[in-house]
Amino acid sequence: MTKSRFTPTKRALIFWTLFIGLGAVFGSYQMLTDPTGKSLQMDAMLPYFQKMPFADVLFRDYIFSGIALLLVNGLPNLLAAGLMIVGKKLGVLLGGIFGVTLMLWICIQFWLFPANPLSISYFVFGFLQAITGMMAWIFAKQEAFHVCQADYPRIGTNHNRLVVFFSRMGYTRKKALEEADRTGADIYEVKATERTEGTLGFWWCGRYGMHRWAMPIEPIGVDLSQYAHVTLCSPIWVFRLSAPMRSFCQAASGKIREADYILVHHQKEPYWCAAEEMDTLLGLTGSPAVSICCREGDYLSEESRERSQIQ
C-alpha cells in the first residue's frame, strides 16, 4: 500500500495555521492591552500608518490594527487548524487560503514600512502555508480516488480485443477499465520496474518524461498477435507519451495489427503527438485516439476530444 502523502502534509499545514494564528492572537492582545505599541517596540512605526485611508481616525494608536490582526490572521487560522484536527476537509482549503491572506497582509506592510526582516519572514511563512495547503488539497483528492476492476463485469468477454494500460495514479486505469467493460476486451497492465509511486516517484517519472526516455518495464506477459484490435491507454508525462508506454510500444512493434489510443492528461490541450509517437513505434498509421483532461480524478468530459486520423 502506498504511503499517504496527505497525512504528513496536513500535519504541516496544521503547524502553520497554529503558528500564524497563535502569533496573531498574541500580537493582537499586545496591541489591545497597550495601544501605544511600546510593549512590542512598534510605537515608532505609527507615523508610517498615515499613508492609510482614514489614518487620523483609525491609526492614531494600535487598537484598530489589533482588531484587524485578530480577525484577519488570528481567528481564521485557528478555525482552520481546528477544522483539520477534527478531520474536516474545509480546514485544508481554508488553511491554504489563509496563507495567501497573510501574504497580502504583509504586502501592505511592505508598502507602509521600510524593508525589515520580520515582514520578509512572515511573507515567506505565508507562502509556505499557501503551498502546503495546495499540496494537502491535491493529495487529499488523489488519495480519495479509487477504482476497482470488480465494478466492470464485462471485462474479458471478448477475446478478440485487448486493452493495454499504464497508470501511476489510477486515472488512466479507470478509463482503461471503462473501455474494456464497454467492448468486453481482455485487459493488461504495463508495469514499470522503476519507482513510480509517491512524491519521489513523481519526480523520477518527470525526469524520464523530460528527456523522452523509455522506462524499463516487466516483460510483456500477453500474446499481442492473437488480438484483432488493441486499445492502448497512457497518461501524458511532461507533454509527451509516458515512459513505460513508450517502452511497451517499442517491445510490441510489429505485433499489433490494429490499435486505438486513450490519452489522459492534466492540461486541456489534446496530445496527438503521443498518438503519433505510438503509431511510429508500433509501425501503424492513422490510428484513432481520444484525449481526455483529468484533474485529480475529475474528468472534464466536455474537453474529451477524438482524433479520427493523423496526417
Q: DSSP secondary-structure letter at 253?
A: T
Same domain, 113 and 183: no
Look up the domain containing 303 and give its range. 149-307
Same domain, 155 and 300: yes
**Cβ atoms 187, 154 nearer than 8 A:** no
**CA atoms of 261 and 279, how far apart (whole Å):** 10
Q: Shortest CA distance to 136 belongs to which of 75, 80, 196?
A: 80
The pair phi, psi for residue 112, each rounded to 5°, is -80, -50
Amino acid at site 257: R
| Total tally of structural domains belonging to the chain | 2
Integer-rounded Cα Rg, in Å, for the chain is 27
Interval 250-276 mean pLDDT: 94
Same domain, 132 and 236: no
In the listed set 110, 144, 178, which residue is the last one of a domain according to the structure?
A: 144
Q: Which sign, positive or negative, has the C-alpha torsion 236, 240, 243, 247?
A: positive
Same domain, 184 and 237: yes
**CA atoms of 95 and 81, how far apart (whole Å):** 7
Residue 211, exposed/middle/buried by CB under 10 A (0-12, 13-18, 19+)? exposed
Residue-wise pLDDT tens digits, 128-159: 999 999 999 999 999 999 999 999 999 999 99
**Cβ atoms 80, 94 nearer than 8 A:** yes
Is 1 within the bounds of a domain?
A: no
**Cβ atoms 305, 270 nearer than 8 A:** yes
pTM, 2 dp: 0.82
Cell numbers standing for residue 125 = 511563512
Res 237 pLDDT > 50: yes
Same domain, 83 and 160: no
Per-residue pLDDT band for 39 (boundaries 50, 70, 90) equals confident
Same domain, 123 and 169: no
Same domain, 172 and 223: yes
Q: Shortest CA distance to 290 belongs to which of 149, 153, 178?
A: 178
89: helix, strand or coil: helix
Residue 254, exposed/middle/buried by CB under 10 A (0-12, 13-18, 19+)? exposed
Same domain, 83 and 222: no
Same domain, 234 and 92: no
In the listed set 101, 125, 144, which residue is the last one of a domain according to the structure?
A: 144
Cell numbers standing for residue 209 = 518524461
Per-residue pLDDT band for 269 (boundaries 50, 70, 90) equals confident
Res 310 pLDDT > 50: no
Q: Looking at residue 2, what is its pLDDT? A: 67
- State the average pLDDT for the chain: 93
Same domain, 67 and 94: yes
**CA atoms of 283 and 242, how far apart (whole Å):** 18
Q: Looking at residue 302, what is its pLDDT? A: 44
Is 238 within the bounds of a domain?
A: yes
The enclosing H or E element of 306 equals strand 305-307
Res 13 pLDDT > 90: yes
Same domain, 104 and 224: no
How many other CB atoms are found less than 10 A from the CB of residue 51?
12
CATH of the domain at 259: 3.40.50.360
